[in-house]
């Protein structure tokens, strides 16, 4: 129990850091300097007001200085990050898989929130992600480096093809390079089966939820980013992909 609590607290700190990444990366600001400040009044946030989760509750979700409401996204990101480490631990124990899983999820999380807000998927996350995923494949017993390499190629290839055909058919950008890079990262961690499953699930999720959003908003220039759906689908495929693919294939046996 103690170990789970320690991992949870450690995860909260990672969440605190990822909040900074989500806020500053799209603005091309340094994620190390300067220290945290209120997005409204620029007031420097003291360390005792910067405790993950707790400070948000104590301050009632408002800045101590200007009393403006702070986005619920901050404690949400911290909480999700908090439970990633204990969950990975329960799933894998202290193994290399524990680190690979946690890292993969910590890469997907900022991609999810940044794309949701800014409609952009940063290379600064996906390129290191591709390298990290590929590097892990050399050491994981459950995965082979060739599987990772094929995953990268399939993820990139299919998406690039979709982007080209999409542009040709719809006469506009259907898929950005950011999406292609993200699929390469997913392929590096999941292999070609996982990346295909992610594509199917993400398209399915995207067309349903995206359709609902477009119907509600009714504005023609409303953009529904694909990255959040890819991120969710990838996380799902990571844990339940093998099970789902086995079940599907057994239908034909
Ligand atoms: Zn403020």
pLDDT band at 245 (very low <50, low <70, confident <90, very high): confident
Please state, in angstroms and rounded to a whole number, the distance separating the CA atoms of residues 160 and 137: 24
User: Ligand 1 centroid vs 81 CA: distance in angstroms?
Assistant: 25
CA 101 to chain centroid, in Å, comes to: 12
User: Ligand 1 centroid vs 62 CA: distance in angstroms?
Assistant: 8
67-82: b (≥16 Cβ within 10 Å) or e = eeebeeebbebbbbbb
Q: 3 burial class (0-12, 13-18, 19+ CB within 10 angstroms)?
A: exposed
User: Ligand 1 centroid vs 57 CA: distance in angstroms?
Assistant: 16
User: Ligand 1 centroid vs 42 CA: distance in angstroms?
Assistant: 6
pLDDT of residue 174: 63
Q: Does the pLDDT value for residue 167 go beyond 90?
A: no
User: Ligand 1 centroid vs 82 CA: distance in angstroms?
Assistant: 25
Token readout for 193 is: 């089966």
User: Ligand 1 centroid vs 69 CA: distance in angstroms?
Assistant: 8
pTM higher than the cut 0.85: yes
What are the tens digits of pLDDT across the range 9-30? Answer: 999 999 999 999 999 999 988 8
User: Ligand 1 centroid vs 40 CA: distance in angstroms?
Assistant: 5
The alpha-carbon radius of gyration of the chain (Å, integer) is 20
């Amino acid at each position: 129990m103690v170990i789970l609590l320690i991992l949870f607290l450690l995860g909260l700190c990672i969440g605190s850091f990822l909040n900074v990444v989500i806020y500053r990366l799209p603005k091309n600001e340094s994620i190390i300097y300067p220290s945290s400040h209120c997005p409204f009044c620029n007031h420097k946030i003291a360390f005792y007001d910067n405790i993950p989760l707790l400070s948000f509750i104590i301050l009632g979700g408002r800045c101590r200085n200007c009393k403006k409401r702070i986005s619920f996204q901050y404690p949400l990101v911290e909480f999700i990050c908090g439970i990633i480490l204990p969950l990975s631990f329960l799933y894998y124990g202290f193994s290399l898989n524990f680190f690979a899983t946690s890292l993969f999820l910590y890469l997907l999380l900022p991609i999810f929130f940044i794309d949701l807000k800014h409609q952009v998927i940063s290379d600064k996350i996906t390129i290191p992600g591709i390298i990290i995923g590929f590097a892990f494949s050399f050491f994981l017993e459950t995965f082979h480096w060739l599987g990772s390499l094929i995953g990268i190629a399939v993820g990139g290839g299919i998406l690039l093809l979709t982007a080209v055909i999409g542009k040709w058919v719809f006469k506009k950008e259907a898929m950005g390079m950011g999406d292609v890079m993200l699929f390469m990262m997913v392929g590096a961690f999941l292999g070609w089966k996982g990346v295909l499953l992610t594509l199917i699930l993400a398209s399915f999720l995207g067309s349903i939820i995206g359709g609902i959003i477009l119907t509600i908003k009714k504005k023609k220039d409303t953009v529904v980013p694909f990255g959040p759906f890819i991120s969710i689908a990838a996380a799902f495929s990571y844990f339940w992909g093998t099970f789902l693919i086995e079940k599907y294939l057994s239908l034909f046996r």
